[in-house]
Amino acid sequence: MEEAYIVAYGRSPIGKGRQGGAYYYERPEDIAAQVLKGVIARVGSSFESQMIEDIVVGCSIPENMQGMNIGRRIALRAGLSEQIPGQTVNRFCASGLQAIAIASNAIMAKQADILVAGGVEFLSTTTFNNPEMTNNLFLEENGRHLSTSMGLTAENLAEKYCISQADQDQFAVESHRKAYHAQVNGRFEDEIIPVQVKNVKFHEGRPYVTEMTFKEDQGIRSDTNRDQLKKLPNVFKQGGTVTAATSSQISDGASFVVLMSSSKAKELGIQPIAKFMGYKVVGVEPDMMGIGPAYAIPKVLDLVGLNIEDIDLIELNEAFAAQALAVIKHLGLNQNIINPNGGAIALGHPNGATGSILTARLLAEMRKQSQSKYGMVTMCIGGGMGAAAVFEYIRHKSDLNGAYDRG
């Protein structure tokens, strides 16, 4: 069996997914194409884009602006050869990670040598359709509550695991604190691909459009504190504990990795960055959606033959503070190795792109932490699921704390 290696990675800065967000006047494939080109450019001079055999793109709402196989549109918009196909996959919040797993599995099965995988989600341009259109009466009447809002599933976990609003507020404050510290100290620079965006201002009802470079995540609030957060109302349940500040931000973003077989990387003289070791998805009770990672993590560790103590860094998607804390409490995880640079509460959660964004964030941080070897990306998934993947970082003498540059 072949081994699948990541040889390049990168992500866009994350924008607020609403009016006033950096991408509000952009099309998803236009921004994603810039990120894709930036990631491909990082592979190295011996690599040519026509070597790519497929583009696999995760997207949790492949409809409207993100419909009609956006994976193919991104490939063409990036100027890649018409002979390079593209596909779009949907596993809600794990879509980007699922795309990486699909591409890795194809390489390991010797069906391909070079693939690109990642994700895109622009919630400012592609909103959710009315969920009532898809509700199934039989499932709802027989305890399979797929219509339960994500916020209520977080409330359910807060109650089951005795997680107070104060606990959640403190978690949110820490997420912003860590993210702000990482941003001002340049810890995201290795993973971010700056993009050109439209800056639209109106005067007397007429738009004036200029172009600007967007290069920093937009959702971080440096002044977040517990005194502010404890005054916020709960938003999902009367008498509940979950607030807007302890929920992940609605966001826009894109991210990609280039994956290559071990034999092809050796042939081209390209240094691998990390090896894809394994991936697992599990199902859980839909009303307890957020606990999914607590069951996916043991399964993927068993698959790759590791223990939780072997894992040096974990990127756990912060769908909600209550949800993340429930997973940590359920497994007794070491919080010191989880989300060292903040999570989705501060940085945002562009659903279908999150898995690949977290992969880029994990690898960038592992490069800086010279003793780290095994890293994990994990998240809960709408509908009552959880996913987790394990990566092994490959050390090279050139791995220093400078900018990431494999070119």
Q: Does residue 349 have an active-site annotation?
A: yes
User: Of the residues 59, 145, 176, 349, which is catalytic?
Assistant: 349
Q: List beta partners, residue 252.
A: 15, 122
User: Of the residues 59, 145, 176, 380, which is catalytic?
Assistant: 380
Q: Does residue 59 have an active-site annotation?
A: no
User: Of the residues 59, 93, 145, 176, which is catalytic?
Assistant: 93
Q: What is the 3-state secondary structure (H, E, C) of the chain?
A: CCCEEEEEEEECCCEECCCCCCCCCCCHHHHHHHHHHHHHHCCCCCCCHHHCCCEEEECCCCCHHHCCCHHHHHHHHCCCCCCCCEEEECCHHHHHHHHHHHHHHHHHCCCCCEEEEEEEEECCCCCCCCHHHCCCHHHHHCCCCCCCCHHHHHHHHHHHCCCCHHHHHHHHHHHHHHHHHHHHCCCCCCCECCEEEEEEEEECCEEEEEEEEECCCCCCCCCCCHHHHCCCCECCCCCCCCEHHHECCEEEEEEEEEEEEHHHHHHHCCCCCEEEEEEEEEECCHHHHHHHHHHHHHHHHHHHCCCHHHCCEEEECCCEHHHHHHHHHHHCCCHHHECCCCCHHHHCECHHHHHHHHHHHHHHHHHHCCCCCEEEEEEEECCCEEEEEEEEECCCCCCCCCCCCCC
Q: Does residue 176 have an active-site annotation?
A: no
Q: Catalytic site residues?
A: 93, 349, 380
